[in-house]
Amino acid sequence: MSTRSGDLDPGLGPYLARTEQMTARQFGEMVNFQSGLLGISETSSDMRQLLATEAGDIRAAEAVGVFCYQIKKWIGAFAAALGGLDTLIFAGGVGENAPIVRARICDGLGFLGIALDPDRNETARPVISPGAGRVRVRVMHTDEQSVIATAVVSLLGLDPGMAGASIMRTFAATNVSAT
């Protein structure tokens, strides 16, 4: 959600094509790279920056608020579809590193059995719910790059021992040429 739009009415693309003469390419650019946190705040797609400026920037505050609301909405939807929750896991950059965002998302979800221990949440312990909580709330570290690299090595049928060095050389060469 940093630069992507999230849910959209399927009629939006044709509507913007008709009323704004927006091409499919422009629409794709808008919904994938100019929306989300960046589109709402008009300043940044970085949650850290938005949290740092939200007190004095109404657009940053709105972006953070919409982000938390959308996640809270999806938690409720999945809880309904699953018939309840046993565990709620926060992962990824924001999920792992933004205790205030975790707290805002969980606020008001007590009816689902979700509660946070403020001290555990602030220190990002593996379990941030109270010991007696009905739903266990966890913070889990993710390493998406390693998971993707492992999947690519497997898909290409490469030797995992040799592929790592080859992938790292390619990555290093790509990063050097991009600067």
At residue 177, the pLDDT reads 43
Domains of the chain by residue range:
1-83, 85-141, 144-178
Number of H helices, E strands in the chain: 10, 2
At residue 98, the pLDDT reads 96
Enumerate long-range contacts of 121-130, CB under 8 Å, 24 or more apart.
Answer: 124/96, 124/97, 124/99, 128/90, 128/102
Alpha carbons 176 and 168: distance in angstroms, whole number = 12
Predicted structure pTM score: 0.80
At residue 144, the pLDDT reads 82
At residue 169, the pLDDT reads 61
Give, for all 179 residues of the chain, the pLDDT tens digit: 799 998 999 999 999 999 999 999 999 999 999 999 999 999 999 999 999 999 999 999 999 999 999 999 999 999 999 999 999 999 988 999 999 999 999 999 999 999 999 999 999 899 999 988 899 999 998 888 888 888 888 888 887 776 556 665 665 555 544 43
At residue 160, the pLDDT reads 75
End-to-end Cα spacing for the chain: 26
> Looking at the domain 1-83, which fold is it?
Nucleotidyltransferase; domain 5 (3.30.420)
Enumerate long-range contacts of 80-85, CB under 8 Å, 24 or more apart.
Answer: 84/112, 84/113, 85/112, 85/113, 85/114, 85/135
